[in-house]
Chains A and B, each alone.
Chain A
Amino acid sequence: MSGVAIVDYGINNVRSVKNAVEYCGFDPVVTHDADAIADASHVILPGVGAFGDAMINIRARGIDEILERQVREKGKPFLAVCLGMQLLAKTSEEHADDGVVHRGLGWFDADVLRLMPNDPALKIPHMGWNMVAKERNHPILANIRESNLAFYFVHSFAMRCRDHGDVVGFAQYGQPVTAIISRDNIAATQFHPEKSQDTGIELMSNFLRWNP
């Protein structure tokens, strides 16, 4: 019960997440095996790609049930990154045709909506380094100065939480962009900590030592 499981649901590139966990001094396994995830002390759900495909893969491999048991019932510290965070919402309108939206894991009372910055000069995807302003403190942000809360974002959709208490921080991109959410043992970031240099590594290192 000391390992770190990086959940493999068939997405292309988890190498940088794995490298970052190793850099923090831990020995991760990339897996979708129920026993391996049960053996881990911390679980990371990475994410690159499209929402609908990701949910199909997650359900096909039974990962939704594994995570329900290990994270929601047993309370393992859990970090979801980028698309991984969006999968925790109830619905997403990404590539939604004819008004049919994709259903997510529904762990947060939230929907994933297309970014609609109020300034036409702002480009989509929201890609690059942006500041995150804290709504509240959180253990994964321990020892990071507010002026250093710059993280690397790449996304065209973002989560909107109905319960403001779930939000730890927002970025601004012609609209508030939900950047960090957390409840109980669950934390998630819209940005990529594994691509956010020292600050991102600090956040991941805080997560890997988090025991809520």
Chain B
Amino acid sequence: MLKKRLIPKFLLRDGRLVKYVRFFENERAAGNPVTTAKVYNDYGVDELIVLDIVPSEASRGRVVDIIERMSEEIFMPFTVGGGVKTLDDVNMLLRAGADKVSVNSEAVRRPEFLREAARTFGDQCMTVSIDYKRISPNHASVFIDGGREHVALDPIEWAQRCEDLHCGEVLLGSIDRDGTMSGYDLELIHRAASVLSVPLIVSGGCGSLQHAIDALEAGASAVAISSMFLFTDHSPIKLRSHLFSRGLDVRASFSSRN
């Protein structure tokens, strides 16, 4: 059966690795993305997600360069996104070495784009990224444009619609929990996992080994993690061996040489 996945999530701003809290607060520089990716590769993570959070024409070139350099030395799946609006954008990132391309705002503005991209490049290449906030205790809503623009969509209904549009995977991120290391939004993860048939990657809030267990047990196929790996001593190796020892179905060992 498929293994549950541990996925570091990289946010790039002008080609630098950065991390915020709740998308906008407390910017912290987090190093060079290529060297950090190599470290994570040695740690045996299962995939990488790389998102350009302030996309522009200039930053696209930097992202392409970073992905090309990563793919020379790192042999695992990459999901790349940020400002993807056209089939040419998708093609450029796939050619640079991405295996999957993440689409967020443009899928909301132009759902047909997602269908076209899936038809052109294959469902498995298209990840839809959905950011949401709780606007009241029982009501969550989608935000696009890096969390700046509120749209009247329920994140789970939108994820189901994306599945109908042939996305291969959903990356569901809680803006409220982003960077807080206070735990994943388990209630929403549980509901999303129970209605989606494509794999669900969850993001936002992981700060302890138990948080990752909770999200996987709530039904997530993969946990995306950034702050915990960047700013605490919980490395991917430690997390993997902890999950494995607790009986979660993750890859046993990160290296054939150890």
Binding site for B on A (CB under 8 A): 12-13, 15-16, 19-20, 22-23, 48-49, 121, 123, 125-131, 143-145, 147-148, 150, 152, 154, 156, 172-173, 194-202
Q: Which residue of A lies closest to B253 (CB)?
A: A148
Q: Which residues of A contact B255 (CB under 8 A)?
A: 148, 197-198
- Cβ of B124 < 8 Å from any Cβ of A? yes
A201 to B42, CA, bound (A): 13
Interface residues in B29-76 by Cβ distance below 8 A to A read 41, 44, 46, 68, 71-73, 75-76
Q: Which residues of B contact A156 (CB under 8 A)?
A: 124
Give the Cβ gap from B124 to chain A, nearest Cβ, in Å.
Answer: 5
Q: How many A-B residue pairs have CB under 8 A?
A: 99
Choice from A15, A19, A202 contacting B95 with Cβ under 8 Å:
A15
Q: Do B97 and A16 have beta carbons less than 8 Å apart?
A: yes
Considering the complex, which residues of chain B in the window 197-254 have a beta carbon less than 8 Å from any beta carbon of chain A? Answer: 197-199, 221, 251-254
Number of interface residues of B (CB under 8 A): 36
Contact status A147-B252, CB under 8 Å: yes
Query: How far is A20 from B41 in the complex, measured between Cα atoms in Å?
Result: 14
Cβ-defined contact, A129 with B251, below 8 A: yes
Residues of A within 8 A of B72 (CB): 19, 22-23
B46 touches which one: A13, A22, A129, A199 (CB < 8 A)? A129
Task: Decide: A144 and B256 in contact? CB cutoff 8 A.
Answer: yes
User: How many Å lie between the Cα of A19 and that of B71 in the bound state?
Assistant: 7
Q: Are B2 and A130 in contact, CB atoms less than 8 angstroms apart?
A: yes
Chain B residues in 8 Å Cβ range of A49: 122
Besides A13-B97, A147-B253, A152-B76, 5 new A-B residue pairs in contact (Cβ under 8 A), listed by A number: A16-B97, A20-B75, A156-B124, A198-B255, A198-B256
Residues of A close to B197: CB separation below 8 A: 121, 123
Given A197-B44, A201-B75, A126 and B2 contact (CB-CB distance below 8 Å): yes
Cα–Cα distance between A123 and B170 once the two chains are bound (Å)? 13
Q: Are B1 and A173 in contact (CB under 8 A)?
A: yes
Which of B68, B76, B169, B256 contacts A145, CB < 8 Å? B256
Provided the pairs A13-B94, A125-B168 are in contact, do residues A199 and B123 lie with their beta carbons within 8 angstroms? no
Sample (10) of A-B pairs whose CB atoms are under 8 Å apart = A12-B91, A19-B71, A126-B2, A127-B124, A128-B221, A148-B256, A150-B3, A173-B1, A197-B41, A197-B44
User: By the criterion CB–CB under 8 Å, are A198 and B2 in contact?
Assistant: no
Q: Which residue of A lies closest to B72 (CB)?
A: A19
- Docked Cα-Cα span, A16 to B199, in Å, equals 24
Cβ–Cβ contact A202 & B97, under 8 A: no
Tell me the bound Cα distance from A200 to B76 in angstroms: 9
Q: Which chain B positions have C-beta within 8 A of A145?
A: 253, 256
Q: How far is the CB of A119 from chain B (nearest CB, A)?
A: 9
Instruction: Please state if A129 and B75 are interface contacts (CB–CB under 8 Å).
Output: no
B5 lies within 8 A of A128 (CB): yes
Query: How far apart are A156's CB and chain B's nearest CB, in angstroms?
Result: 8
Query: Given A16-B71, A128-B5, A130-B3, are A150 and B124 also a contact pair (CB < 8 Å)?
Result: no
B14 close to A (CB within 8 Å): no
Shortest distance from the beta carbon of B49 to any chain A beta carbon, whole Å: 14
